[in-house]
Structure 1
Amino acid sequence: MIAKLIFIVTFIGASFCLELKQVVMLSRHNIRTPLTTNLKLLTPKRWPKWNGDTGYLTPKGRMLEQAMGRYFADWIIEEKLLIDKCSRNQVLVYSNTKERTIQTAKSFAEGAFGDCAEVFYKNMTGMDPVFNPIIRNDSEEFMETVLSDMQAQLNKIDLKDPLLRLNRIVDIKNSEYCKTENICDLSEVKNKIFFEVNKEPDVAGALQLGNNLVDAFLMAYYDGMKEDDVAWGRIRTAEEWESLIKILKAYHKIRFQTKLSDKDAASTLLKYLVDAFHNGSKKLYVLVGHDANILSLMSAMSFKDYTLDGQFERTPIGGKVVFEKWHDDVNGGDLVRVRYVYQSSKHIRDGVEASLLHPPLEALLQMEDCAVDENGYCPWNDFIRKFNIVMD
């Protein structure tokens, strides 16, 4: 018989023994090609060539995800949650239907468990409902309230400086977009909110255009392209990146972190997680989706603000929100710890493979109404109560 792991946590005047009982993680896919093909209209410059279709996982993204899988498998076995890397009946790797999520999930599973774990995804052309961050509530009151809140957030945003920076980077004054649409300054483009039932919330205009451009630059940076091929060498410093990333953060915050709409967009994912926590027969669940899934879930669950050192993004490519259930052998109760496990922007660009010797970065996460101790542990019953309140 395998002996139970005794995990000692010591803090002022007390200690207790913890045993890891379950891990549920929500992952964003790894490095992909840009999502849009119309970027050429926004600049007279030639874009770098990508090998792969629009929105597909890149070979480097596959390699990094395999390494992340090995890291987590080694950690989980070290903690005695699983006996070895061939615990097929105790692991579920579940992906959305997009190519980049399926291939990320397969890469994680391959790195973690070789051929001893299968990836489950639904055979359908559209988004899997569990991962689909669409609006489902069609009540008039709900729609009016959310639209008002989204507009209020939009009115507060001041992105003039980063948008002017984008103008200079892409040389928009000499672009086809300027010639045909007579829009030659992104900071002057109006934003329009789109909020419809059975569709993702969206914001067309400067935010969307800026997001698409910065996202393409960021993926080129992550994939390790030469500096002159990343925004034509026009982004050189961390400060310049941070300025431009404000556009991404604002775009995603309005779309997926507006109160009420966040819960609605994350409702199917929340239900799946609650079922995994309450009735799940697996010791390890790995769900592979998108930044929208992480953002809407964390907003709906009222996670406190957090900082990811070494990262430009709030939801880094390949990053994982890891829910850990621990049993306190001394006091007889269960605890939860939630971490954001991720790689720094530089480590992704440099292709640094995560391992127990060189682990990825992490940040402890906290939720409102689920007080944590100094080691980041929250009572399990408080955690589940929080889920139940959100689900009501």
Structure 2
Amino acid sequence: MIIKLIFIIAFIGAGSGLQLKQVVMLSRHNIRTPLTTNLQLLTPKRWPNWNGNTGYLTPKGQILEQAMGRYFADWIIEEKLLLDKCPRNQVFVFSNTRERTIQTAKSFAEGAFGDCVEVYYKNMTGMDPVFNPVVRNVSEEFKEIVLSEMQAQLNKIDLKNALLRLNTIVDIKDSEYCKTENICDLSEVRNKIVFELNKEPDVAGALQLGNTLVDAFLMAYYDGMKEDDVAWGQIHTLEDWKALLKILKTYHKIRFQTKLLDRDVASTLVKYLGDVFQNGSKKFYVLVGHDANILSLMSSLNFKDYTLDGQFEKTPIGGKVVFEKWHDEVNGRDLLRARYVYQSSTQIRDGVEASLLHPPLEALLEMEDCAVDENGYCAWDDFIRKFNIV
């Protein structure tokens, strides 16, 4: 279900007795360049030219994120959480150490608050431990259970048609990869689970290669490249996208949404957020990370399945999981509302800048053990209890 935020604002402001007390938001970075420099090995075709280093935020991603910042600032001021766009010590913007997350956070902060809010990130080469979705528990019992669950997920998937389609799109039989590695048919490549201490869980093989290719196509689409430069003009319909993106979704689901594993890789982020929800003094927290952070967090907190209308992805580029703390003055209690705020695939490609008059899309989210009412609110105490369990 899609609900336009401007209507939510009108509803809450119309004598509902609810007052917004705090907003904590986990955002994925915006549009970036592809993550690998090895794409040319997988096809004899010429890839489109990206003006930027590997994995960097694109200029369009920066513009879209600035607009999203303005939109959220306007909303929280409208709700009287903040009084103006220079909130000084009432806002905390925290980014992972990757260029794409830092620049996304800076773009959001600039759009929302000009130069009044600085972005915090650690000066380190590796990923910030809060955002680093790596394996931390390598006890034999844990490893055995997780590997069994991941393998069970792998055994259930059927991506042969999607991988055969990828073969055709990239012409892999004539690629350098085929010549040097003797991998000339992605549908025949075996998947192998990679599970090591202090490394991200991974699935090497067809899923990983397929994800790399589909991700590059998707970023080109989002960045507004000509149709002939998006998979060389060979993705024509929504059904084509859905078929190919099944590879991407499956890859991430097995890596970050397997029970026990999700709680392990998200443990530092869950601990950080639990402290913010229970002890945080700021009114508005913005964390900028990756799809892996959102997927593992939502799985570990037992979010129910959700649908993002108008979107190819489950964790859209630039999308935000928004946790809102509301005070119910009538009943003397605090409530949580969780939403996924995002732009549709078409809005991103067309460069539509979010605003209160032209809001992004949203979906109300629900968690197990935090039952929501008809307006999407659950008891704050039930929500906080989850952080003492996970």
- TM-score, normalized by length of structure 1? 0.96
Distance in structure 1 (CA, Å) of the matches to 2:355 and 2:388 = 36
Query: Given the superposition, is the C-alpha separation of residues 9 and 225 from structure 1 closer, same or farther in structure 2, using an over 3 Å criterion?
Result: closer
> Does residue 386 of structure 2 align to residue 374 of structure 1?
no
Alignment match, 2:66: 66
Q: Output one character per residue of 1:335-367: Cα deviation in whole Å (capped at 9) or x when no partner.
A: 000000000000000000000000000000000
Distance in structure 1 (CA, Å) of the matches to 2:346 and 2:200 = 31
> Does residue 203 of structure 2 align to residue 200 of structure 1?
no
Q: Output one character per residue of 1:228-258: Cα deviation in whole Å (capped at 9) or x when no partner.
A: 0000000011110010000000000000001
Alignment match, 1:308: 308
Q: Output one character per residue of 1:110-160: Cα deviation in whole Å (capped at 9) or x when no partner.
A: 000000110000011100000000111121100110011000000101000
Q: Could you say what secondary structure the match of 1:235 adopts?
A: coil
Alignment match, 1:328: 328
Alignment match, 2:227: 227
Alignment match, 2:275: 275
Indicate if the aligned counterparts of 1:191 and 1:205 stay in contact, CA closer than 8 A: yes
1:27-46 to 2 correspondences below 5 Å: 27-46=27-46
Distance in structure 2 (CA, Å) of the matches to 1:273 and 1:108 = 20
Gaps of at least 5 residues in structure 2 are: 1-8
Alignment match, 1:215: 215
Query: Given the superposition, is the C-alpha separation of residues 8 and 57 from structure 1 closer, same or farther in structure 2, using an over 3 Å criterion?
Result: closer
Q: CA deviation at 1:8?
A: 5.8
1:182-193 to 2 correspondences below 5 Å: 182-193=182-193
Indicate if the aligned counterparts of 1:194 and 1:201 stay in contact, CA closer than 8 A: yes
Moved over 6 A (4+): none
Q: CA deviation at 1:16?
A: 4.5
> Does residue 134 of structure 2 align to residue 134 of structure 1?
yes
Distance in structure 2 (CA, Å) of the matches to 1:180 and 1:266 = 37
Distance in structure 1 (CA, Å) of the matches to 2:111 and 2:285 = 15
Indicate if the aligned counterparts of 2:271 and 2:387 stay in contact, CA closer than 8 A: no
Alignment match, 1:244: 244
- Counterpart code for 2:355: S
Indicate if the aligned counterparts of 1:8 and 1:17 stay in contact, CA closer than 8 A: no
Gaps of at least 5 residues in structure 1 are: 1-5
Q: Could you say what secondary structure the match of 1:309 adopts?
A: coil
Q: CA RMSD in A?
A: 1.3
Alignment match, 1:389: 389
Indicate if the aligned counterparts of 1:96 and 1:289 stay in contact, CA closer than 8 A: yes
Distance in structure 1 (CA, Å) of the matches to 2:134 and 2:174 = 37
Q: CA deviation at 1:387?
A: 2.1
Distance in structure 2 (CA, Å) of the matches to 1:148 and 1:125 = 33
Indicate if the aligned counterparts of 1:25 and 1:285 stay in contact, CA closer than 8 A: yes
- Counterpart code for 1:174: D
Q: Could you say what secondary structure the match of 2:94 adopts?
A: strand
1:83-102 to 2 correspondences below 5 Å: 83-102=83-102
Q: CA deviation at 1:7?
A: 8.0
Alignment match, 2:171: 171
Alignment match, 2:319: 319
Alignment match, 1:152: 152
Q: CA deviation at 1:182?
A: 1.5
Alignment match, 2:344: 344
1:354-369 to 2 correspondences below 5 Å: 354-369=354-369
Alignment match, 2:4: none
Alignment match, 1:121: 121
Distance in structure 2 (CA, Å) of the matches to 1:198 and 1:181 = 28
Q: Could you say what secondary structure the match of 2:302 adopts?
A: coil
Q: CA deviation at 1:173?
A: 1.0
Q: Could you say what secondary structure the match of 1:282 adopts?
A: coil
Distance in structure 2 (CA, Å) of the matches to 1:377 and 1:9 = 12
Distance in structure 2 (CA, Å) of the matches to 1:70 and 1:9 = 20
Distance in structure 2 (CA, Å) of the matches to 1:238 and 1:134 = 33
Distance in structure 2 (CA, Å) of the matches to 1:87 and 1:39 = 44
Alignment match, 1:3: none
> Does residue 289 of structure 2 align to residue 289 of structure 1?
yes
Distance in structure 1 (CA, Å) of the matches to 2:229 and 2:12 = 48
